[in-house]
Amino acid sequence: MIQALNGARQLATATMKRTATELRLPVPWGELRGQVWGPEEGRPVLCLHGWADNSGSFNTLIPLLPQEWRCVALDMAGHGLSSPRPSGVFYTFPAYVADVRRVVEALQWKRFSILGHSMGGNVAGMFSAVFPEMVEALVLLDSYGFYPTNTKSIPEPSAPPHPLW
């Protein structure tokens, strides 16, 4: 048993030597930043951090994932090295979903997986619901998640929608 534990420790230290490159994406209010691991042609995986975190949240996990994956850990707007939103602009889930769309378009990813932690998991769930054709797999860590709903069980509105909606 001790031999197996020693082997696991050696594997982890050898794997941890993977280095990340920097991601910098211009946006109208500054730039979104992050870290990138793996080959350009690798399986694309977008990693979204929690509210009190940044892309560094994935520094320990990503080196343990398959090296042929292309992992991009994003510093979401106002977190880590990414620019804060302009004064008076709120940090909302729809705004973060729009940021994710902006990032994957810049990366030219048509289909990818998302690994989301906490708030990042909620953003990932919303993105997956809005753009299901783009999401190959979704992994939520410490996130409340979303329950599937059969659209037939959603009641029809009793009144026509408001013209502003």
What residues are annotated to the active site?
A: 118
SS (H, E, C) 59-126: CCCHHHCCCCEEEEEEECCCCCCCCCCCCCCCCCHHHHHHHHHHHHHHHCCCCEEEEEECHHHHHHHH
- The residue whose two tokens read 């769309």 is 101
Sign of the dihedral defined by the CA atoms of residues 131, 145, 74, 136, in that order: negative
H or E segment at 36? strand 30-37
Rounded-to-integer distance, Cα 131 and Cα 134, Å: 6
